[in-house]
Structure 1
């Protein structure tokens, strides 16, 4: 590809790094099973998702308890939707920062699925990440229930469900768009071309990702309670095991996976112009005389 396609920053720009497109990950990489770094990454995804669910579910339940007039609370006592959104976004920021260098800091099957679609990770790694994330979510919710069983059961265990008054179609659309926003941010913040151009971006990458989670929660908590993370929805649903929660649970898997797929296609074929690079259609033929 022509060097002019690599954005440098203009005349007099600071020193730059040479940029090379990383090779796509193999579909099935059996060599990973012989590497400790592979198992360390899986453990990191498990622990990060456990901590994520533990903190956010505790926050959701605590807010419900503090604002419940039957429990001696009042409307202004809890952190409210804004506070809950900050906790979700803040935890993602912290956990992505802590685990990005070990596992990539996915903490979300939708993110893992998007990374697999763009060939950044192998199928084997993607499957084991998703399993680790779901088990971590289960353990995180189970830990909250163990510590606060009565409140956990009474206030629904922080499980996602479609809010009364909204259709399944609306809920599905909200989850698709919300996950697209998250994955769009993840791809943009971790883009290797940008990292080669702007060396400070990898340090700041967790910040826009966490802020995207915060913004999506602000917009969608009133509709679905905000899923955009199938492991988070699955863990809470299994531990509370309520029929109303399970009735529309498919939305919190189908929506994020569709949103992740659209974001991956947009990133790969529009932002990175993979198809154009393959056929060289940006190279115009010189005029003939």
Structure 2
């Protein structure tokens, strides 16, 4: 009989040091109350995160700040810090599909839990965006496109019309990939690694993630000089919520055109970070030595299939 490749191991997620989930397509997770509690927390925390994020952007753009982009980046540091700390003990505080996707590839989170997390994050983003749209005046939401992730101009932030230009698809994809890669690389090498987590702790770790995202927002919103580009999303859930809500509003010109960039870029970066983490693990020797990452399991699956075929042929002989 073929041996069971689903084993348990220990590791740390953001904000907690708990046991690894059973890696593999283990549908028993669907009957685990702890999993559903974590999924619920991801839903609520992502809804709060998106609600505060959109409200911050609208308040800064409407408030007449001399440098609204700088204020947006600064406030997001505290938003991310607090939301991750709130969700960390229960779910690990992912709040981002690309972080969950990378956690699945590196063996931190099981595939079933990862899929549930991503669904919860996406729905939570839609709910948070809808709440903002229900509170603020319709004109304000449409004027600033509900702080959605955009590639084209939506409203003048500066008076210089020459800066109102469209961001090309190739440029936007490269931007999403690079900034998401920087975020994930820092998060996994500094925060998620078990031994580094012992140094940073449950309070400093979320702050480091918030500081990283705030820095990436500050750079990406200003380095192109194009106000039509809203900066690197680095979070597909944060981008899908306002888009869905805007498409449901009347007299809205919002469309899915170019939105795939805000998914493909971060997920592609997550794949590369997972490969690096697998090839050159920092201190994460448990996953590497036990060979429980997804790449090793895929190879094991093919080898097991070949072994079964060989046994069948031998029996036939």
Do both proteins adopt the same fold according to a TM-score greater than 0.5, normalized to the shorter chain? yes
1:250-270 Cα offsets, whole Å, 9 max, x none, are 110100101111112222212
What is the rounded CA distance, in whole Å, between the counterparts of 2:181 and 2:123 in structure 1? 24
In structure 2, the partner of 1:208 is: 208
Matches within 5 A, 1:1-289: 25-67=22-64, 76=66, 80-150=68-138, 151-163=140-152, 164-188=165-189, 189-195=191-197, 198-222=198-222, 223=224, 224-225=229-230, 226-241=232-247, 242-243=252-253, 245-272=255-282
Kept after mapping to 2: 8 A contact 1:160/1:233:
yes
The CA RMSD over aligned residues, in Å, is: 2.3
Contact persistence 1:81–1:218 (CA under 8 A): yes
CA–CA distance in 2 between the matches of 1:179 and 1:200? 21
Find the aligned partners of 2:264 and 2:188 in 1 and give their Cα distance.
20
Q: Report the CA distance shift for 1:116/1:91 in structure 2 as closer, same or farther (over 3 A).
A: same
- TM-score, normalization by structure 2: 0.72
Provide the rounded CA distance (Å) in 1 between the counterparts of 2:218 and 2:255.
Answer: 21
Alpha-carbon deviation of 1:35?
2.2
- The Cα shift of 1:138 comes to 0.3
Distance, in Å, in 1 between the alignment partners of 2:49 and 2:30 is 27
Distance 1:201 1:80, change over 3 A: same
Structure 2 contact 236–266 (Cα < 8 Å) conserved: yes
8 A Cα contact 1:161 1:245, kept in partner: no
Over residues 157-186 of structure 1, what are the superposed CA-to-partner deviations in whole Å (9 max), with x where a residue is unaligned?
A: 101111524321111111001111111122
Contact preservation (8 Å) 1:159, 1:245? no
Q: Distance in 1 between matches of 2:68 and 2:83?
A: 23
Q: Any unmatched runs of 5+ in structure 2?
A: 1-18, 153-164, 292-317
Aligned-pair CA distance for 1:204: 1.7
Unaligned 5+ runs, structure 1: 1-21, 68-74, 280-289
Taking a change above 3 Å as real, the CA distance of residues 171 and 31 of structure 1, as seen in their structure-2 partners, is same
- In the alignment, is the contact (CA less than 8 A) between 1:160 and 1:245 conserved in 2? no
1:114–1:261 Cα contact (<8 Å) kept: yes
Distance in 2 of aligned mates of 1:36 and 1:55: 29
**Partner secondary structure for residue 95 of structure 2:** coil
How far did residue 214 of structure 1 move? 0.5
The Cα shift of 1:232 comes to 0.6
Indicate how the Cα distance of structure 1 residues 123 and 221 shifts in structure 2: closer, same or farther if over 3 A, else same: same
Cα distance, 1:87 vs structure 2: 2.2
Cα deviation, residue 244, structure 1: 5.1
Distance 1:89 1:66 in 2: 19
How many residues align? The count is 247
Distance 1:128 1:59 in 2: 28
Contact 2:180–2:234 under 8 Å retained in 1: yes
